[in-house]
Amino acid sequence: MIAPTAMHKLAHPEGEVATARAAAACNTIMILSYMSTCTVEEVAASCKAIRFFQVYVYQRRDITANLVQRAERCGYKAIVLTVDTPRLGRREADIKNKMVAPQLKNFKGLISTKVSSDDGSNLEAFANNTFDASLSWKDIGWLRSITNLPLLIKGVLTCEDAIKAVEVGVDGIVVSNHGARQLDYSPATISVLEEVVHAVKGKVPVFFDGGIRRGTDVFKALALGAQAVLIGRPAVYGLAAKGEYGVKWVIETLKDELELTMALSGCPTVKDISRNHVRTKHEALHSML
């Protein structure tokens, strides 16, 4: 799947529309970012890709409700709530460069995204002025009340949060550390994936993102129990290099590498990939004792 990444027009003039067309051509799912530079309607009209919509909960709940309901009307198939961003992480490069975010068209007529910041990134100022830092488990119920779509939560890194997510009724979990851009020293997602998979006991699907760069990375995540993986930066790199074609090339390359890894590992189908195909650092240490 294509992970929700913001502001694709910074990478290519066609932005998220080009990414969505590439996802459709490769028969994969695109998760459109709340902070996209194309509207939910523009992306929906561009192709027949299966689309999910990623959201943050804003202090003004009417803004979140507006976007969720627009996505549902446009045929998006699920809502993905990012739960690891009560405030934006310290993006030192953005502050140093005094980053100014482009127009975020989803918010037109709802809220101004032109927030001034004399000492840093206006994106950080915008996020910290609008995101609801009091987000809690009770807000899952509120989101349920405004949409009939399945609800996934993204940003889970512990078995405790995974168990709680199942208890409050989410439909899926994305193991993610937000590209390691939120909390410094948060664990690598591959190191906690199996913990989360064991915690949910098959009650909901577990998806994975973070560090997927080769087909072998996809293979490892599947072996540790993920039902699918998300790619963020690689898709944006492809978009920046060659637009829609570049994103397709990235997806097809990962697919080809995964198929080769499966063949060399004796796995005719994805279902044949098992825990026996990987060994963690912890297991390697024990094998030497």
Own/partner pairs, 220-225, CB within 8 angstroms, 24+ separation = 220/190, 220/278, 221/190, 221/193, 222/270, 222/273, 223/273, 223/274, 223/275, 223/277, 223/278, 224/190, 224/193, 224/194, 224/197, 224/275, 224/278, 225/193, 225/194, 225/197, 225/198, 225/275
CA atoms 200, 206, 212, 215: torsion sign:
positive
The parent domain of residue 91 ranges over 8-257
Q: Where are the alpha helices (DSSP H) in the chain?
A: 15-25, 40-46, 61-73, 92-96, 122-130, 138-146, 159-167, 189-200, 215-223, 233-264, 281-288
Contact 180, 198 (CB under 8 A): no
Domain assignment present for residue 22? The answer is yes
Is 282 domain-assigned?
no
Which pair of tokens denotes residue 220? Answer: 């490892």
The enclosing domain of 152 has a CATH number of 3.20.20.70
Residue 271 lies in a domain: no
Q: How far apart are CA 18 and CA 243, in angstroms?
A: 6
119 lies in a domain? Answer: yes
Say how far residue 71 (Cα) sits from the centre of its chain. 16
Q: Is residue 274 part of a domain?
A: no
Q: How far, in Å, CA of 230 to CA of 186, rounded?
A: 18
The whole-number mean pLDDT for each consecutive block of 10 residues of the chain, a chain of 289 residues, reads: 95 97 98 94 94 93 94 98 82 75 73 57 72 90 96 97 97 92 85 96 97 97 98 98 98 98 98 94 63
Cβ-contact 174, 209 below 8 angstroms: yes
Dihedral of CA 237/240/241/244: which sign?
positive
Would you give the distance in Å from CA 151 to the centre of its chain? 13
Identify the pLDDT of residue 130.
79
Q: What pLDDT does 117 receive?
A: 54
First to last CA, the chain: 40
Hey, which residues are catalytic here? 178
Residue 265 lies in a domain: no
Dihedral sign, Cα of residue 173, residue 177, residue 178, residue 182: positive
- 217: in domain: yes
What's the domain count of the chain? 1
Name the pTM for this structure.
Answer: 0.90
Residue 281 domain-assigned (yes or no): no
Token pair, residue 227, equals 């039902």
Query: How many CB atoms within 10 Å of residue 107?
Result: 19
- Report the C-alpha gap between 194 and 123 in whole angstroms: 34
Q: Which two tokens stand for residue 67?
A: 């976007």
What confidence score (pLDDT) does residue 103 get? 74
